[in-house]
Structure 1
């Protein structure tokens, strides 16, 4: 028996679905670090995957030697909106 590597966040259906829902379902920065960023992912981890402790860990970069950070602008932070990756800005503002 071998191990199979999967990348669920790269699945086209997952990407299409996440792109279709408003950003305030995916993140709520008013809730603070360890809760609000990646809110939807943390909710799924807590409610459906029985990972309550893991769902509160602060996000960290994982690079595994790719050196991608050195290729990017050092002024750009992960929490910044990246215009070269954003294709649809209609879902950015929360319309209460």
Structure 2
């Protein structure tokens, strides 16, 4: 099952609000389990478009697909660097 980050969750909620579909219909069309989507709604308190827009501006989230891809690539590189550092640290610790 795909893990969604905060940006993706907000985008899913925005798409749901603009779709006009029921929660179940939207979940099915997006390929998300209904229980998972209900969890997102609980976490964000059934937001409306204005509150999602506020969250996206407040968090300085990317507004275009290219910006999102660039941010995700940077995060991925940072995670890979951290993983590499931790593996090196573990190897050094094992040598002691």
Q: TM-score band, normalised by the shorter chain?
A: under 0.3
Provide the TM-score with structure 2 as the length reference: 0.23
Which one has the bigger helix percentage? 2
